[in-house]
Structure 1
Amino acid sequence: MSLVWICGVDEAGRGPLVGAVVAGAVVLDPHIPIEGLKDSKKLTSAKREFLYEQIMDKAKAWGVGEASPAEIDEINILQATMLAMRRAIEDLTTRLGGWPDKALIDGNRCPELPIAAEAIIKGDTKEPAISAASILAKVTRDRQMQILHERHPEYGFAQHMGYPTEAHFAALQQFGACSEHRKSFSPVRKVLEAIAR
């Protein structure tokens, strides 16, 4: 009897004002366990990086997908998150050699998929494959923010990762929005409207 491949899926970057929303998808190999998997938000940056490499090395298959700031502005953050998740699973299929048997999605809703899917609230604390996906998504997005920080150091992205902090609001007021800001998000939209007046 063939093995059943269960894919965990999670996202990073729904709340920030800038950058893509990134999703990870992981099928763990039952014969090669990865120690220490848990919700990426409960891990130090160094531990996340270590586990990221472990996942790349030991998982049966993994995939990453994203939706750009322009797509977020066009279809809204929820739909963009679903799109990123689907893209992550599609990316995973190229390494798995086909669709997994089932997807476990962190949260309360599932993207449209040609396979069985189950939404699990706080899934990143309950299912190791979802924990692995959350680490993959978070590390990928954090690395993107570091690159964005090098391009636009005035916003301080390396410190707040694009989240709506006081420092980020102050930089928006002073410098306006950059091309990677999500123009449909209220704090960014208000700054752009004020500049346009």
Structure 2
Amino acid sequence: MSFQRGSDALRELESKLRSEGYRYIACVDEVGRGCLAGDVVAAAVIMPEDGFIEGVKDSKKLSPKKREQLYSEILKTAIGVGIGRIDADTIDEINIRQATLMAMKMAVENIVDREGSIITPEYILVDAETIDTDIPQQAIIKGDATVYGIAAASIVGKVYRDRLCEEWGKLYPEYRFEKHKAYGTKEHRELIQEHGASEIHRKSFLKKILGVE
């Protein structure tokens, strides 16, 4: 399902929020929550009332080529974009859910316009979570599949993190991060068993794979 101009739930919700006086509505999603290595990444985007981008949908439903194309269009169209990253050591220390919430809050706080000026949103729509902020917000279950702006955030976060995986693949070529993007594929699990954990692996995720308590 791609979002049709003016017909999806977000457009109706957006219109309602704008009628209540909210101008900057940030949509937030995360990527990498279930990975075995690397940062969990969150993206926050403020999309304009006009400038609808055809083809935007949950990033998991898109090919890498299409994601890259839409990523560029979103960055050109968005009023503001922010990224939050929490590394593997912190994930191990505070657990993945808390790290995800921290990344989401960081993404909201990092929203900047195309000139690099900070934008503070007036309302936040979050994919299935509630973050620690005084800004009014709403958690949307399956938001990346039902809300245009959250789907846009999912694309931004996915492309950003995939590019990190390309970098990690060069730093740790034996793990092939550029191929499996640090998810727990059969190949990745076997490489961990062969080489042990790297500096960027989430050690708390590897106990069964490495046979440790």
User: TM-score normalised to the size of structure 1?
Assistant: 0.91
Q: Pick from 18, 27, 32 the counterpart of residue 37 of structure 2.
A: 18
For residues 144-172 of structure 1, the C-alpha deviation after alignment (integer angstroms, 9 at most, x for no partner) is 01111111111121221111111111111
Unaligned runs of 5+ in 2: 1-18
The residue aligned with 1:134 is: 154
1:32 maps to amino acid? G
The residue aligned with 2:77 is: 58
The residue aligned with 1:121 is: 141
The residue aligned with 2:125 is: 104
| Aligned equivalents of 2:141, 2:22: Cα separation in 1 | 26
For residues 33-64 of structure 1, the C-alpha deviation after alignment (integer angstroms, 9 at most, x for no partner) is 22211000001001100111111111011111
Instruction: For residue 55 of structure 1, give the secondary structure of its aligned residue in structure 2.
Output: helix
**C-alpha contact 2:189 2:209 (8 A) present in aligned 1:** no
Asked if residue 71 in structure 1 is aligned to residue 83 in structure 2, the reply is no
Aligned residues: 192
The residue aligned with 1:175 is: 195
Instruction: For residue 9 of structure 1, give the secondary structure of its aligned residue in structure 2.
Output: strand
| Aligned equivalents of 2:58, 2:117: Cα separation in 1 | 24
1:114 maps to amino acid? D
| Aligned equivalents of 1:120, 1:41: Cα separation in 2 | 17
**C-alpha contact 1:181 1:188 (8 A) present in aligned 2:** no
| Aligned equivalents of 2:127, 2:132: Cα separation in 1 | 14
RMSD over aligned CA atoms reads: 1.9
The residue aligned with 2:172 is: 152
2:203 maps to amino acid? K
2:59 maps to amino acid? S
**C-alpha contact 1:7 1:27 (8 A) present in aligned 2:** yes
Instruction: For residue 56 of structure 1, give the secondary structure of its aligned residue in structure 2.
Output: helix
The residue aligned with 2:15 is: none
| Aligned equivalents of 2:209, 2:145: Cα separation in 1 | 36
Instruction: For residue 23 of structure 2, give the secondary structure of its aligned residue in structure 1.
Output: coil
| Aligned equivalents of 2:134, 2:53: Cα separation in 1 | 28
Q: Taking structure 1 as reference, are residues 160 and 188 closer, same or farther at Cα in structure 2, changes over 3 Å only?
A: farther
The residue aligned with 2:16 is: none
Unaligned runs of 5+ in 1: none
| Aligned equivalents of 1:144, 1:192: Cα separation in 2 | 28
CA shift for structure 1 position 98: 3.8
Asked if residue 5 in structure 1 is aligned to residue 24 in structure 2, the reply is yes
| Aligned equivalents of 2:140, 2:117: Cα separation in 1 | 23
Q: Taking structure 1 as reference, are residues 28 and 66 closer, same or farther at Cα in structure 2, changes over 3 Å only?
A: same
**C-alpha contact 1:10 1:133 (8 A) present in aligned 2:** yes
**Over 4 Å off, 4+ runs:** 93-97
